[in-house]
Chain A
C-alpha cells in the first residue's frame, strides 16, 4: 500500500485503525463490524481505511468497497459538524417530509448526502427512524425531533447561530480575562 503525504489528522486516523484492527479476528464475518467501528470513530470510511481493512482480512480492496457501498449506513465523505437526517418514511412522506428536506437543501445550498464546504453542516435522507407517530421527523445531530414544521428549519439554524456566537463571545471573554 502506498501512502501519499498525510496531514496530521489523517495520520492520527490511520494510527487509530492500525491499533484497532488486531482486536478483530481475521474472519470475513468481521468485515461489517470492523467497518462499523471505524465509522463510529471517524464518522466516515476513507479510501485508506478500507484498504487497511482489506489487508487485514486478506481480501481485495474492491471487495471491501463493494460491501461498504451496498449498505446505506456507510459514508465515504466526512460529515459536517452538525448533521441533519430527514426521515422520509411513509408516515413522514404523507405528512410532508419532502418539504422539510427541501427546506434544508435550499437553506444550505447542498443536496442530500452532501456536506457544506466549511464542514459545518451535512444533510442526509433516511428511510425511517421508527418514530412514525410523530411525523414528520428529523434527527438533528443525535436528537430526534418530531412534528417538525417547515419554519422550524429556519429556527434550527438560528439556534446554532446563537450557540456559536455565545461560544465565541465566551471564548473572547476568557481570553481577555486571562
Chain B
C-alpha cells in the first residue's frame, strides 16, 4: 500500500478526533481535568472527583469532568485544571484540591465567576491576568518530550491522543520501508532508557538481520527499582504514545507479536494499557492489517509477579515463558535468540515512548536536544528531601545542581544537602562535590553512579550513608535470584557486615572487607543485578568514609539515624510543667512523669520512633536526640510507676 492510501485510511480517525476537540472548545461548557493517576488517587483525587460531581449536580451546573494522567507535580496533588471558556480566563491549574476545595471551586468559580486566587497554582497558558505556570522554574526548566501530553489528555480516550498527534508517527513509518525507520532511529542516537544506554537503532538492526522467521518486541515496564515510578506514570497517563512506539518498532524489525511486561503491583497501569490496546484495535491502529496494510501486530499484556531481577532482559524472557526469572549467559543475546527462541527486542517504556516523536519530527530534531553522546531527555523521579518532589523531564546534560535546587526547589526545612542517590540499588550516592556533574549516561557512570531507570533520592544531613547502603543491600540480597554464588552469598555477607556496623558492633577490619568483597561480587556475577549490587557500598565508602569510621570506631551515627546508636531524652530545663502531649503519643508507654511534673524517657522501653519529638510543642522543643546513646542523661523511673 502506498503512503497516500495509508494516510487516507487514517484521515477519518483524525477528522473525528479534531471534531471532538473543536466541539469541546466551542460549546462553552467548562471542563474540569482531574489528575487521577496512582499518586493523585493516593492524595484523595477520587474524593475530589466525587465532590465535584455532587456539587455540580446539586447546583445544576453543566461541566465536563475529564480524568487525566499525572502531570508529574506530585507535591501539589490532587491537581485540578479548570477550563472555563465563558469566564474570559485561561485554563487554571489548582493545587491540593481536597473535596472541600472542590465544592468551593464549583460555587465560587463555576457559579459566580470568581477563580479563588488562593488555591491557584497558575494558568496553563500565557495571558495578562494570571501568572502562568510556565513562569515557574519547576515548569520552564523542564523540557518535555516523552511526558509532553501526560496529564493533559484522558488516557482512556484514544481520540484525545490522536488529536495531539498520536499515531501520526506510525502512519509515517508504515509509509516508509522498515530499513528507513531503523536508519532514522540510528541517526537520532536514541539510547536505551532502561539504564545501560545501548543504542536502540543498533538493537533493532541486529534483530531485523537475525535471519528469517517471526520476531518479537517486548516492552519492559517491570519497574522494580524502589524509588522510581516514571514508567508507571507513562503507562497511566499516555499509553498510546507507548503503543505507537511499540508498533513502529515491530514494523521496523518485522515482528507480529508484542508483549508489554508490566508489574502486577501497578493495577491501574495494567488496566489503562489493556484498555488502550482495545481501543487501538477498534480503530485498526493495532491488531490485524493495521490501517489496511499487511502489517499485523498482536499486543499482549503480561503481568510481572514482582521480582526485581526480571528487569534484566533474559530473566524477563524466562518469566514470560513461565519459568523462574533467572538471567542466563549472554551471548546469545535476545536479539538473536530471545522469547520462545525467536529474535527479540526488549526496550524500556521510555525508549519506545521517544520513538513516535523521532519519526514525526525527525532524527535531527531529536539530536538537537541533550548532549552529543546522549541525545534527548532524561526522566527522573526526584524524591526524598526536596521541596517539590515528582517527575521531572530535563534535557540530557543538565547538571544535578540545576535539577535538585532549581527545578525541585532544594532541601526543605533549611537543612543542608548531603547526597543524592541515583540509579536505585544499582547506582550510587554522590556527594555535594559532584553536583555540577552533567546528567548523561557516561558522566554518571564515570562518577560511580549510573543513569539506571531514573530513580533519584535526595538526602539531607539527617540521612546516614551507612544505613542507606545497608538498606540497598537488604533489598538486593532478597532479590538475588541465587544463580551466582558471589551474588547470592556475597550480598548476604555484605549485609551482615553493614548490619553489624549500624548496630555499633563494627570491627576495624570490616571496612577493608567491605571493599574487597564488593569487588569480588562485581566480578563473580553474571547479570546486572550482581554486577551493580555493591555500587551503593563502594560509592559511599569512597565519598563518606568518615561516616563509616564514626560508626566503627566511635560507635556513633553522625546523622542520628541508626537507631541502635542513638537515644532520645527530654531536656528538663525546657520541658513544660504539666504538659503531657508526648505521653499520649508514645506507642510503648516509655514516657513517665518525673520530679516537678516534668517528663522523662525510660530508655529501656523506648523504641526510638521519634514520635515524641514530632509532637513536642515548638515553643518548648524539649526533645533531644543524641549519638552515641550514652550521652543521654539517665533518669530512673521510680519502681512503683513501672
| Complex contact A130–B229 (CB within 8 A) | yes
Given A99-B609, A132-B389: A71 in contact with B587 (beta carbons within 8 A)? no
Could you mark each residue 447-490 of chain B with 1 if its beta carbon is under 8 Å from any beta carbon of chain A, else 0?
00000000101010001000010011001000001000000000
Binds A, one of B155-163, B199-207, B300-308: B300-308
Q: Is the CB of A29 within 8 A of B226?
A: no
CB-based contact B325/A71 at 8 Å? yes
A132's partner among B383, B481, B610 (CB-CB below 8 A) is B383
Residues in A whose Cβ lies below 8 Å from that of B54: none
B556 in contact (CB, < 8 A): no
Cβ-defined contact, A134 with B42, below 8 A: yes
Q: Does B631 contact A (CB under 8 A)?
A: no
Q: Contacts A36-B303, A89-B227 given: A106-B588 contact, CB under 8 Å?
A: yes
- B221: min CB distance to chain A, Å: 11
Segment with Cβ contacts to B, from A11-19, A145-153, A160-168: A145-153
Per the bound structure, the CA–CA distance linking A70 and B615 in Å amounts to 43
Residues of A59-79 contacting chain B, CB below 8 A: 66-67, 70-74
Q: Are A146 and B306 in contact (CB under 8 A)?
A: no
| Contact pick for B305, options A32, A89, A128, CB 8 Å | A32
Q: Is the CB of B226 within 8 A of A128?
A: yes
Expressed in whole angstroms, the minimum distance between the Cβ of A32 and any Cβ of chain B is: 6
Which A-chain residue is minimally distant from B266 (CB atoms)?
Answer: A130
Q: Is the CB of B384 within 8 A of A94?
A: yes
Distance, CA A16 to CA B381, complexed state (A): 42
Nearest A residue (CB) for B265: A129
Q: Which of A28, A91, A127 contacts B383 (CB 8 A)?
A: A91
In chain A, what residue has the closest Cβ to B475?
A127
**A72-B305 in contact (CB<8A):** yes
Query: Contact partner of B41 among A90, A135, A144, CB < 8 A?
Result: A144
The answer to whether A146 and B42 touch (CB under 8 A), given A70-B324, A132-B383, is yes
* CB contact between B421 and one of A72, A90, A130 (< 8 Å): that residue: A90
Residues of A within 8 A of B305 (CB): 32, 35-36, 71-74
On chain A, the residues within 8 Å of B459 by CB distance are 94
Q: How many A residues, CB 8 Å from partner?
A: 50
Q: Mark B293-327, 1 if CB is under 8 A from A, else 0.
A: 00000000011011110000000000111111100
- The reply to whether B611 and A150 contact each other, CB–CB distance below 8 Å, is yes
Interface residues of A in 10-59 (CB under 8 A from B): 27-33, 35-36
- Contact across chains for A36 and B264 when beta carbons are under 8 A apart: yes
How far apart are the CA atoms of A35 and B306 in the complex, in Å? 13
Task: Tell me if A110 is interfacial: C-beta within 8 Å of chain B.
Answer: no
Contact across chains for B229 and A132 when beta carbons are under 8 A apart? yes
Most interface-central of A33, A72, A131, A132 (chain B CB within 10 A)? A132
Q: Is B6 an interface residue (CB 8 A)?
A: no
Selected from B302, B303, B468, B607, the residue in CB contact (under 8 A) with A94 is B468
Contacting pair B384 A134 (CB below 8 A): no
Min CB gap A98→B, angstroms: 9
Q: Are A67 and B323 in contact (CB under 8 A)?
A: yes
**Chain B window 596-627, contacts with chain A (Cβ cutoff 8 Å), 1 for yes, 0 for no:** 00000000000101110011000000000000
Let me know if A73 and B43 touch, CB within 8 A: no
Given the known A-B contacts A72-B307, A127-B306, A137-B42, are A149 and B325 also in contact in the complex, defined by CB atoms under 8 Å? Answer: no
Contact with B along A77-121 (1 / 0, CB 8 A): 000000000001111111110010011001100000000000000
Q: Which residues of B in the span 467-518 have a Cβ within 8 Å of any Cβ on A?
A: 468, 471-472, 475, 481
- Report chain A residues within 8 Å CB of B457: 90-91, 94, 132
Asked if B103 is an interface residue, CB under 8 A from chain A, the answer is no
Contacts A72-B307, A73-B306 given; does A88 touch B468 at CB 8 Å: no
Separation of A133 and B391 alpha carbons in the complex (Å): 9
The answer, yes or no, to whether B39 is at the interface (CB within 8 Å) is yes
Q: Does A154 contact B (CB under 8 A)?
A: yes
**In the complex, given contacts A70-B325, A71-B305, A73-B306, what are 17 additional A-B residue pairs having Cβ atoms less than 8 angstroms apart?**
A27-B322, A28-B321, A29-B320, A32-B303, A33-B302, A70-B324, A70-B481, A71-B307, A71-B325, A72-B307, A90-B384, A99-B610, A127-B308, A128-B224, A129-B38, A132-B229, A151-B611
Cross-chain pairs A/B with CB under 8 angstroms, 15 sampled: A30-B322, A32-B302, A70-B481, A90-B227, A90-B384, A90-B455, A90-B457, A94-B468, A127-B306, A128-B227, A132-B455, A134-B42, A144-B42, A149-B611, A150-B585
Q: 9 shortest A-B CB distances, which residue pairs?
A: A133-B74, A89-B226, A71-B305, A130-B229, A90-B227, A72-B306, A144-B42, A31-B322, A132-B383
